[in-house]
Protein backbone atom coordinates (compact mmCIF):
# COMPACT_ATOMS: atom_id res chain seq x y z
CA UNK A 1 0.00 0.00 0.00
CA UNK A 2 1.38 3.37 -0.97
CA UNK A 3 1.98 5.77 1.90
CA UNK A 4 -0.43 8.66 2.18
CA UNK A 5 0.85 11.62 0.21
CA UNK A 6 0.98 15.09 1.74
CA UNK A 7 -1.04 17.89 0.26
CA UNK A 8 0.86 19.37 -2.65
CA UNK A 9 0.11 22.97 -3.63
CA UNK A 10 0.99 24.85 -6.78
CA UNK A 11 3.14 27.95 -6.63
CA UNK A 12 1.04 31.01 -5.96
CA UNK A 13 -1.81 29.14 -4.30
CA UNK A 14 -2.21 31.21 -1.16
CA UNK A 15 -3.71 28.54 1.04
CA UNK A 16 -1.54 29.31 4.04
CA UNK A 17 -3.35 32.60 4.51
CA UNK A 18 -6.67 30.95 3.75
CA UNK A 19 -6.22 28.36 6.47
CA UNK A 20 -4.76 30.80 8.97
CA UNK A 21 -7.79 33.11 8.69
CA UNK A 22 -10.99 30.99 8.51
CA UNK A 23 -13.06 34.09 7.72
CA UNK A 24 -10.86 35.30 4.88
CA UNK A 25 -11.94 33.03 2.02
CA UNK A 26 -10.47 34.89 -0.91
CA UNK A 27 -10.41 32.78 -4.08
CA UNK A 28 -7.07 31.04 -4.46
CA UNK A 29 -5.35 29.51 -7.50
CA UNK A 30 -7.01 28.97 -10.88
CA UNK A 31 -10.07 31.16 -11.32
CA UNK A 32 -13.53 29.60 -11.08
CA UNK A 33 -16.61 31.76 -11.62
CA UNK A 34 -19.58 30.55 -9.57
CA UNK A 35 -23.01 31.88 -10.54
CA UNK A 36 -25.90 31.00 -8.25
CA UNK A 37 -29.54 31.10 -9.32
CA UNK A 38 -32.11 31.46 -6.55
CA UNK A 39 -34.57 28.58 -6.79
CA UNK A 40 -38.06 30.15 -6.56
CA UNK A 41 -39.48 27.54 -4.17
CA UNK A 42 -38.10 28.42 -0.75
CA UNK A 43 -36.53 25.98 1.68
CA UNK A 44 -36.92 22.98 -0.62
CA UNK A 45 -33.30 21.75 -0.70
CA UNK A 46 -32.74 21.77 -4.50
CA UNK A 47 -30.22 19.08 -5.33
CA UNK A 48 -28.64 16.53 -7.66
CA UNK A 49 -28.91 18.29 -11.04
CA UNK A 50 -28.58 16.50 -14.36
CA UNK A 51 -27.85 17.92 -17.83
CA UNK A 52 -30.46 17.22 -20.51
CA UNK A 53 -29.67 16.81 -24.18
CA UNK A 54 -31.27 20.17 -24.98
CA UNK A 55 -29.03 21.94 -22.45
CA UNK A 56 -31.61 22.29 -19.70
CA UNK A 57 -30.58 21.51 -16.16
CA UNK A 58 -32.98 19.26 -14.27
CA UNK A 59 -33.04 18.85 -10.49
CA UNK A 60 -35.21 17.68 -7.62
CA UNK A 61 -36.55 19.52 -4.60
CA UNK A 62 -35.90 17.03 -1.83
CA UNK A 63 -37.93 18.93 0.76
CA UNK A 64 -40.48 20.20 -1.77
CA UNK A 65 -41.55 17.05 -3.64
CA UNK A 66 -40.90 18.36 -7.12
CA UNK A 67 -38.84 17.99 -10.26
CA UNK A 68 -37.69 21.20 -11.92
CA UNK A 69 -35.95 22.28 -15.11
CA UNK A 70 -33.74 25.35 -15.45
CA UNK A 71 -33.24 27.00 -18.84
CA UNK A 72 -29.77 28.61 -18.81
CA UNK A 73 -30.59 30.67 -21.90
CA UNK A 74 -33.82 32.14 -20.54
CA UNK A 75 -32.68 32.05 -16.91
CA UNK A 76 -36.02 30.54 -15.91
CA UNK A 77 -37.30 27.61 -13.87
CA UNK A 78 -40.29 25.35 -14.46
CA UNK A 79 -41.65 22.79 -12.02
CA UNK A 80 -43.50 19.47 -12.03
CA UNK A 81 -44.98 18.44 -8.69
CA UNK A 82 -44.46 14.93 -7.39
CA UNK A 83 -46.83 13.08 -5.04
CA UNK A 84 -46.68 14.33 -1.48
CA UNK A 85 -44.15 12.37 0.58
CA UNK A 86 -41.95 11.40 -2.39
CA UNK A 87 -38.80 12.86 -0.83
CA UNK A 88 -36.91 12.86 -4.16
CA UNK A 89 -33.22 12.35 -3.55
CA UNK A 90 -31.60 12.08 -6.97
CA UNK A 91 -32.34 12.59 -10.66
CA UNK A 92 -30.62 11.36 -13.82
CA UNK A 93 -31.40 11.85 -17.51
CA UNK A 94 -31.94 8.97 -19.91
CA UNK A 95 -30.78 9.17 -23.53
CA UNK A 96 -34.38 9.75 -24.64
CA UNK A 97 -34.52 12.96 -22.60
CA UNK A 98 -36.75 11.57 -19.86
CA UNK A 99 -35.67 12.21 -16.26
CA UNK A 100 -35.60 9.36 -13.75
CA UNK A 101 -36.20 10.09 -10.08
CA UNK A 102 -35.27 8.30 -6.86
CA UNK A 103 -38.32 8.61 -4.62
CA UNK A 104 -36.35 8.10 -1.43
CA UNK A 105 -39.11 8.46 1.15
CA UNK A 106 -41.84 6.89 -0.99
CA UNK A 107 -39.72 3.86 -1.87
CA UNK A 108 -39.97 3.85 -5.64
CA UNK A 109 -38.07 4.85 -8.79
CA UNK A 110 -39.97 6.68 -11.51
CA UNK A 111 -39.65 7.98 -15.05
CA UNK A 112 -41.20 11.36 -15.81
CA UNK A 113 -42.54 12.19 -19.25
CA UNK A 114 -41.48 15.85 -19.55
CA UNK A 115 -44.09 16.48 -22.26
CA UNK A 116 -47.17 15.16 -20.45
CA UNK A 117 -46.11 15.10 -16.81
CA UNK A 118 -46.97 11.38 -16.62
CA UNK A 119 -45.05 9.57 -13.90
CA UNK A 120 -44.34 5.87 -14.41
CA UNK A 121 -43.39 4.32 -11.08
CA UNK A 122 -41.38 1.15 -10.51
CA UNK A 123 -41.95 -0.52 -7.16
CA UNK A 124 -38.85 -1.87 -5.44
CA UNK A 125 -38.41 -5.46 -4.28
CA UNK A 126 -39.43 -6.41 -0.76
CA UNK A 127 -36.92 -5.16 1.78
CA UNK A 128 -35.62 -2.33 -0.44
CA UNK A 129 -37.18 0.89 0.78
CA UNK A 130 -34.98 3.89 0.07
CA UNK A 131 -33.56 4.44 -3.45
CA UNK A 132 -30.74 6.94 -3.06
CA UNK A 133 -28.48 7.65 -6.06
CA UNK A 134 -29.07 6.58 -9.68
CA UNK A 135 -26.73 6.06 -12.64
CA UNK A 136 -27.23 4.66 -16.16
CA UNK A 137 -24.71 2.32 -17.74
CA UNK A 138 -23.99 2.18 -21.47
CA UNK A 139 -26.59 -0.57 -21.97
CA UNK A 140 -29.33 1.68 -20.63
CA UNK A 141 -29.70 -0.19 -17.35
CA UNK A 142 -30.36 1.95 -14.29
CA UNK A 143 -28.20 1.13 -11.27
CA UNK A 144 -29.00 2.58 -7.86
CA UNK A 145 -28.00 2.52 -4.21
CA UNK A 146 -30.40 1.99 -1.32
CA UNK A 147 -28.49 3.36 1.65
CA UNK A 148 -30.38 2.02 4.66
CA UNK A 149 -31.44 -1.19 2.90
CA UNK A 150 -27.76 -2.16 2.38
CA UNK A 151 -28.53 -2.93 -1.25
CA UNK A 152 -27.38 -1.96 -4.73
CA UNK A 153 -29.96 -2.50 -7.46
CA UNK A 154 -30.21 -2.75 -11.24
CA UNK A 155 -33.42 -1.80 -13.05
CA UNK A 156 -34.16 -2.80 -16.64
CA UNK A 157 -36.33 0.09 -17.89
CA UNK A 158 -37.83 -2.03 -20.66
CA UNK A 159 -39.07 -4.95 -18.57
CA UNK A 160 -39.20 -3.28 -15.18
CA UNK A 161 -37.23 -6.16 -13.68
CA UNK A 162 -35.04 -5.18 -10.72
CA UNK A 163 -32.06 -7.27 -9.62
CA UNK A 164 -30.46 -6.57 -6.26
CA UNK A 165 -27.07 -7.08 -4.65
CA UNK A 166 -26.94 -7.27 -0.86
CA UNK A 167 -23.60 -6.02 0.36
CA UNK A 168 -21.51 -8.36 2.55
CA UNK A 169 -21.03 -5.86 5.40
CA UNK A 170 -24.07 -5.03 7.51
CA UNK A 171 -25.08 -1.35 7.63
CA UNK A 172 -22.47 -0.46 5.00
CA UNK A 173 -24.73 2.37 3.75
CA UNK A 174 -24.16 2.29 -0.05
CA UNK A 175 -24.15 5.92 -1.16
CA UNK A 176 -22.52 7.39 -4.28
CA UNK A 177 -22.38 5.15 -7.35
CA UNK A 178 -20.53 5.33 -10.70
CA UNK A 179 -19.86 3.09 -13.68
CA UNK A 180 -16.24 2.51 -14.81
CA UNK A 181 -15.32 2.52 -18.53
CA UNK A 182 -15.41 -1.30 -18.68
CA UNK A 183 -18.88 -1.46 -17.12
CA UNK A 184 -17.92 -2.40 -13.57
CA UNK A 185 -20.09 -0.72 -10.94
CA UNK A 186 -18.42 1.13 -8.07
CA UNK A 187 -20.11 2.20 -4.86
CA UNK A 188 -19.02 4.41 -1.96
CA UNK A 189 -19.87 2.80 1.38
CA UNK A 190 -20.61 5.46 3.97
CA UNK A 191 -21.07 3.02 6.84
CA UNK A 192 -17.61 1.46 6.67
CA UNK A 193 -14.11 2.19 5.36
CA UNK A 194 -14.52 0.54 1.97
CA UNK A 195 -15.45 0.77 -1.69
CA UNK A 196 -17.55 -1.91 -3.34
CA UNK A 197 -16.98 -3.07 -6.90
CA UNK A 198 -19.77 -5.09 -8.56
CA UNK A 199 -19.38 -7.34 -11.60
CA UNK A 200 -22.26 -6.35 -13.93
CA UNK A 201 -22.58 -9.92 -15.29
CA UNK A 202 -22.39 -12.03 -12.13
CA UNK A 203 -23.57 -9.32 -9.69
CA UNK A 204 -20.77 -10.45 -7.39
CA UNK A 205 -19.57 -7.68 -5.03
CA UNK A 206 -15.95 -7.17 -4.01
CA UNK A 207 -14.88 -4.94 -1.12
CA UNK A 208 -11.83 -2.70 -1.32
CA UNK A 209 -10.92 -1.86 2.27
CA UNK A 210 -9.23 1.50 2.73
CA UNK A 211 -6.12 1.95 4.92
CA UNK A 212 -7.75 4.18 7.53
CA UNK A 213 -10.48 2.62 9.68
CA UNK A 214 -12.16 5.98 10.26
CA UNK A 215 -12.65 6.70 6.52
CA UNK A 216 -16.26 7.19 5.41
CA UNK A 217 -16.95 7.76 1.73
CA UNK A 218 -19.71 9.88 0.19
CA UNK A 219 -19.23 10.30 -3.57
CA UNK A 220 -17.21 8.87 -6.44
CA UNK A 221 -15.68 10.07 -9.71
CA UNK A 222 -14.14 8.01 -12.50
CA UNK A 223 -11.38 9.39 -14.72
CA UNK A 224 -10.66 8.17 -18.25
CA UNK A 225 -7.80 5.95 -17.06
CA UNK A 226 -10.30 3.93 -15.02
CA UNK A 227 -9.17 5.28 -11.65
CA UNK A 228 -11.87 5.48 -8.97
CA UNK A 229 -11.82 8.70 -6.95
CA UNK A 230 -13.61 9.22 -3.65
CA UNK A 231 -14.25 11.84 -1.01
CA UNK A 232 -13.68 10.75 2.58
CA UNK A 233 -16.23 12.89 4.39
CA UNK A 234 -15.13 11.83 7.86
CA UNK A 235 -11.36 12.05 7.53
CA UNK A 236 -11.04 14.94 5.09
CA UNK A 237 -9.23 13.17 2.26
CA UNK A 238 -9.45 12.93 -1.51
CA UNK A 239 -8.58 9.39 -2.52
CA UNK A 240 -7.83 7.36 -5.65
CA UNK A 241 -8.09 3.62 -6.14
CA UNK A 242 -6.43 2.14 -9.24
CA UNK A 243 -8.15 -1.19 -10.04
CA UNK A 244 -5.35 -2.44 -12.31
CA UNK A 245 -2.72 -2.25 -9.58
CA UNK A 246 -4.76 -2.22 -6.39
CA UNK A 247 -2.91 0.91 -5.24
CA UNK A 248 -4.67 3.46 -3.04
CA UNK A 249 -3.40 7.06 -2.94
CA UNK A 250 -4.81 9.72 -0.64
CA UNK A 251 -4.31 13.47 -0.24
CA UNK A 252 -5.38 15.51 2.79
CA UNK A 253 -7.81 18.18 1.69
CA UNK A 254 -6.74 21.84 1.86
CA UNK A 255 -8.74 22.99 4.88
CA UNK A 256 -8.65 21.39 8.31
CA UNK A 257 -12.42 21.67 8.78
CA UNK A 258 -13.25 19.93 5.53
CA UNK A 259 -16.10 17.41 5.11
CA UNK A 260 -15.51 16.76 1.37
CA UNK A 261 -18.79 15.66 -0.20
CA UNK A 262 -19.87 16.37 -3.81
CA UNK A 263 -17.33 15.12 -6.39
CA UNK A 264 -17.00 15.16 -10.20
CA UNK A 265 -14.38 14.92 -12.92
CA UNK A 266 -14.09 17.30 -15.90
CA UNK A 267 -13.09 16.74 -19.55
CA UNK A 268 -9.39 16.99 -18.65
CA UNK A 269 -9.68 14.42 -15.85
CA UNK A 270 -9.25 17.08 -13.20
CA UNK A 271 -11.18 16.22 -10.05
CA UNK A 272 -13.42 18.73 -8.27
CA UNK A 273 -15.02 18.44 -4.84
CA UNK A 274 -16.75 20.62 -2.27
CA UNK A 275 -15.61 21.02 1.33
CA UNK A 276 -18.93 21.27 3.18
CA UNK A 277 -17.74 21.79 6.75
CA UNK A 278 -15.92 24.95 5.74
CA UNK A 279 -17.94 28.15 6.07
CA UNK A 280 -18.56 29.11 3.34
CA UNK A 281 -18.34 25.83 1.46
CA UNK A 282 -15.30 25.63 -0.80
CA UNK A 283 -15.07 24.25 -4.35
CA UNK A 284 -11.63 22.66 -4.71
CA UNK A 285 -9.84 21.52 -7.88
CA UNK A 286 -7.21 18.76 -7.93
CA UNK A 287 -5.01 17.86 -10.92
CA UNK A 288 -4.03 14.16 -10.98
CA UNK A 289 -1.26 14.89 -13.50
CA UNK A 290 0.62 17.06 -11.01
CA UNK A 291 -0.99 15.67 -7.83
CA UNK A 292 -1.71 19.24 -6.75
CA UNK A 293 -4.69 21.16 -5.42
CA UNK A 294 -4.73 24.07 -7.84
CA UNK A 295 -7.96 25.96 -7.11
CA UNK A 296 -10.03 26.90 -4.06
CA UNK A 297 -13.19 28.97 -4.51
CA UNK A 298 -15.77 29.93 -1.86
CA UNK A 299 -19.43 29.44 -2.80
CA UNK A 300 -20.99 32.92 -2.73
CA UNK A 301 -24.16 32.01 -0.80
CA UNK A 302 -22.17 29.89 1.63
CA UNK A 303 -23.63 26.67 0.24
CA UNK A 304 -24.73 25.16 3.55
CA UNK A 305 -23.84 21.81 1.99
CA UNK A 306 -23.27 20.69 -1.60
CA UNK A 307 -24.16 17.02 -1.76
CA UNK A 308 -23.82 16.11 -5.43
CA UNK A 309 -22.72 17.77 -8.67
CA UNK A 310 -22.50 17.01 -12.36
CA UNK A 311 -20.14 18.12 -15.12
CA UNK A 312 -21.59 19.86 -18.21
CA UNK A 313 -19.09 19.27 -21.02
CA UNK A 314 -20.69 21.75 -23.45
CA UNK A 315 -20.36 24.64 -21.02
CA UNK A 316 -17.25 23.28 -19.28
CA UNK A 317 -19.11 23.86 -16.03
CA UNK A 318 -20.15 22.08 -12.87
CA UNK A 319 -23.77 22.28 -11.72
CA UNK A 320 -24.88 21.71 -8.15
CA UNK A 321 -27.70 22.50 -5.75
CA UNK A 322 -27.08 24.04 -2.36
CA UNK A 323 -28.76 23.97 1.02
CA UNK A 324 -28.98 27.76 0.70
CA UNK A 325 -31.70 27.10 -1.93
CA UNK A 326 -29.73 27.91 -5.07
CA UNK A 327 -28.75 26.13 -8.27
CA UNK A 328 -25.13 26.97 -9.00
CA UNK A 329 -23.01 26.88 -12.13
CA UNK A 330 -19.26 26.81 -11.60
CA UNK A 331 -17.53 27.87 -14.81
CA UNK A 332 -14.19 26.08 -14.83
CA UNK A 333 -10.85 27.41 -16.04
CA UNK A 334 -9.45 25.99 -19.31
pLDDT digits (tens, 9 = 90+) for 44-102: 999 999 999 999 999 999 999 999 999 999 999 999 999 999 999 999 999 999 999 99
Domain assignments of the chain as residue spans, ordered by start: 1-30+212-334
Distance CA 324, CA 306 (A): 9
Distance CA 82, CA 65 (A): 5
Give Cα separations from 332 to 47, 215, 269, 299 (angstroms).
20, 29, 13, 14
Instruction: Name the DSSP letter for residue 124.
Output: P
pLDDT at 20 over 60: no
Give the whole-number percent of the chain exceeding pLDDT 70: 92
Residue 322's nearest CA partner among 21, 59, 51 is 59
| Helix, strand, coil percentages for the chain (3-state, nearest 5) | 5, 45, 50
Alpha helices in the chain (DSSP H): 15-20
Give Cα separations from 226 to 112, 181, 217, 221 (angstroms).
32, 6, 18, 10
Distance CA 56, CA 52 (A): 5
Distance CA 200, CA 30 (A): 39
Q: For 172-190, write each residue's pLDDT tens digit.
A: 999 999 999 999 999 999 9
pTM value is 0.92
The CATH code of the domain at 1-30+212-334 is 2.130.10.10
Edge-to-edge strand order for the sheet containing 309-312? 33-38, 326-331, 317-321, 309-312
Give the β-pairing of 271-275 and 247-252.
unpaired
Q: For 27-39, write each residue's pLDDT tens digit.
A: 789 999 999 999 9
Amino acid sequence: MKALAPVALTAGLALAALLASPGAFAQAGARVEIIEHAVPWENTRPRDPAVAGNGEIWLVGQAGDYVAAFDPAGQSFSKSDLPEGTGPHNLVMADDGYPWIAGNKAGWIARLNPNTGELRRFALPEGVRDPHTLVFNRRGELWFTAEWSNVVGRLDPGSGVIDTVTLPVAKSRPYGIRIAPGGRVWVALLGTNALAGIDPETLEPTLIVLPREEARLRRLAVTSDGAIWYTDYNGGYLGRYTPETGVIDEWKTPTERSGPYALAEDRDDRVWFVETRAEPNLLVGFDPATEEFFSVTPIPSGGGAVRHMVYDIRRHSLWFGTDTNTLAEARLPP
